Structure 1
Amino acid sequence: MTDVLVIQSAREVKPGGGVSGVAFELGENLKSSNVEIGSFTIDDIYPNSFKNSSNLFLKKIAQLFDIIVYGVWGSLKLKRLYKSNNQAVVLCHNDGLYGDIYINHGLHRAMLFASDHPYRMLLRNPLHLYLLVREWVRFKLNIHKHIVCFSANDASIMEKTYPNTLGRITIIPNGVHINKFMPNSMVRKEKRLELGYLESDFVLIFVGHEFDRKGLKFLVNSLLNLPENVKLLVVGGGSAEKIEEYKNYCKDNGLTHRVSFLGTRKDIPDLLNASDCFVMPSAFEAWPLVGLEAMACAKPALITDTGGVSAFVKPGYNGYLIKRDADDIAEKIRSLMSDEASYIQICKQARETAESYSWQNIADKYLSLIKQCLVEKNNA
């Protein structure tokens, strides 16, 4: 395809996790299809001097301001720039309210009401109310001609919540960087030595912020029903107060020596290689990419059956679907540990599963949708 401009609309587009990482990988892999790739980020609206601040309060205020400004002012500017360009296709990720194709990274309404205390969350953080209103406006006003959901389950939730989206949904899963996330025995040995783990230790890894929603406490409690050589790496986290709360919880339960809190890290592929199993008992996920990244490193994934998880986690084949229950998590981990030959096979099959979700394969699916969108725009 030539003379086609694809604009990725996201507050940030950069390597890493989350929405910004998805936008980055998709853009990089679309380039190989002779498509010109551009982006429209918060930096195209105004420079935010506080977003990289070490002051947590200033960072939170900056994030709140960015979300609202990008959603309102940014959407108007984006529409003015590209509405009349029939050779441009805008891919909208989350925060904008303009775009030919909307990539649904999760319905906020579904996430909120899947949590244990939705109304408490609304009262404590008014941003949730803004996000609910923004979501209602997006789908009730039919802002986007096409909507991408990561799984059939995601699409079903979308259609039940917003029936007028029926007929506009295309299912395209998120991809995984299989050359960045891959098994590496040398890295495993070096990283385990650095972290102080023995080869006989069975190391679980949890990656993510929002410890409560992602069910970290259930995972911590599962250790009480598992042998002493089962250890837990916790990567990520929110405020220092939340991390301290969980550290104290581990101390109260005699688990301090078995749980390591590493905070935010950039060496996620290395840490996944150092582990033996990825676990995330989350209340809600649209498409937990980190689970596929763990599988790309040949690690079994134990994740709750939410969002699109069942599309790639096949119980007993490459991991297990788990409940938000310490006993259930412990049972699945014991199952992995009980048969070494079976565990090795599951690891191999986890990698094979991840390879089928390579970003190039996913970019090809987006390219087909972009072509369809161009035809529709030029025939209108």
Structure 2
Amino acid sequence: MSEEKRKALIAMSGGVDSSVAAALMTEKGFDCMGCTMRLYENDMIGEDLFGTCCSLNDTQDARAVCERIGIPYNIYHYEFQFKEKVIEPFVCSYEKGETPNPCIGCNKYLKFDILYEKAKELGYDNIVTGHYARIEEREDGHFYLLKARDLSKDQSYVLYNLSEEQLRHTYFPLGDLTKPEVREIADKNGFVTSHKKESQDICFVPDGDYAAMIKRYRGREYPEGDFVDLEGNVLGRHEGIINYTIGQRRGLGIPADRRLYVKKLDVAGNRVILADDKDLFEREVSVREFHWITGDKPTGDFRCSAKIRYRHKEQPATVTVIDEDHVKVIFDEPQRAITPGQSAVFYDGDVVLGGGIIEN
């Protein structure tokens, strides 16, 4: 990757990963500045977000790391953009019977779009984050997004919306490292973040109760409705469509002589359709907002492996391009609980080809 300008803006969440990313870039001789994107305030979702990603404590930790390695640090406020591009689509998606992944939208619109524009405005030609993924420039002159060396930490799934142009101006310094190695580097540098606990939740839903967050955000309750089986027989009452996702078994609260799972959410009829586990397997899925990373978008059919959720192991599939924005994916073997709102991400070995949003 070209290092002609050797200037980099480091996106820092206040955690160990971005701290080490900043240290590694300065060690490489880059002229760096650290920054934290302030994305939300408590009153945006009616909840105390103290201790969550990019909270006051996190910005203090990020600033301390920057002071230790001798680079400037700033906080940039993007609360309005985050609400418009991440929180509102997140809530709308649940209201449509989907299960979204907000990290994908945050990366697409905030970290690698708005922040990159800020970097250029400030004279920094490159963006750096603590994601576990790799970027490779090959002999054909193209840039490719690859999985991390440590597959247990790989975050390439949530980065599939990057463009090749963005890859040319992005660094992922942790792509070849394991988490223990990252913590060791942080410890050697004496960072306050070296033993900081890793956040596992959505940053604006720190307690994991997304349904309660949506109710607070909208200021409303969602109507009860019927649980029904595949034949339409009423099995009980549900507590509102937003409380359920495809494949869910726990928390249904209805008596049954066998295990039942959420098969589909009928938003128009306000019904939650339940079925046996065997009924959750499907081979075909429609995908919207089709994005291709490197080179020209394909036409017709192509073979790849595809993931239908972050922790899903990608499976062999054939993808048929319908038009500029839509594709159809047919897996070689049926996949369990294909969920609208999640992303289908396409791989060729370690290379991330692109992806899109799974439709109802």
Between structures 1 and 2, the one with greater helix share: 1
**Structure 2 length-normalised TM:** 0.29
Q: Normalising by structure 1, report the TM-score.
A: 0.28
